[in-house]
Amino acid sequence: MLAMLAWQTAMAQQALPDPTRPPPEVLLPPADKALPAVPAATGPQLQSVLLARRPGGRRLAVIDGAIVPLGGKVDGAILVEVRESAVVLQRGKRKQVLKLVSSGHEKAQQP
């Protein structure tokens, strides 16, 4: 009985493989095809937005992994507007629009 309990404990401590993870050959690019270089993003990156459905509800943005409420600060800029797919940051007189991009590569634009 004690041996069975020790075996179950050892099995429970081993990490189980993720059944939804693709096989390694799918994750690696073919050796004969080089991936194009993706330029590193500069500036803050918008990752998500949260808009309450009710009027006057909360408006939040996730920027560089931080949850920022409307009127909150990120890197010295103030979040002045939250839209469904973009936010506006204001740094002094300068405004910066951060957009959500479905491909996962967020881009920043200057108006």
Helix residue spans in 1-111 (DSSP H): 2-13, 24-27
Any domain includes 61: yes
The domain total for the chain is 1
Any domain includes 19: no
Any domain includes 86: yes
User: Strands, E, within 1-111: which ranges?
Assistant: 46-51, 59-63, 66-69, 73-74, 77-82, 86-91, 94-99, 107-109
Q: Is the pLDDT of residue 100 over 60?
A: yes
Confidence (pLDDT) at 43 = 81
Q: Greater confidence, 98 or 102?
A: 98
Summarize pLDDT for 26-35 with one digit per residue, the tens: 676 666 555 5
Any domain includes 38: no
Residue 104: domain span? 46-109
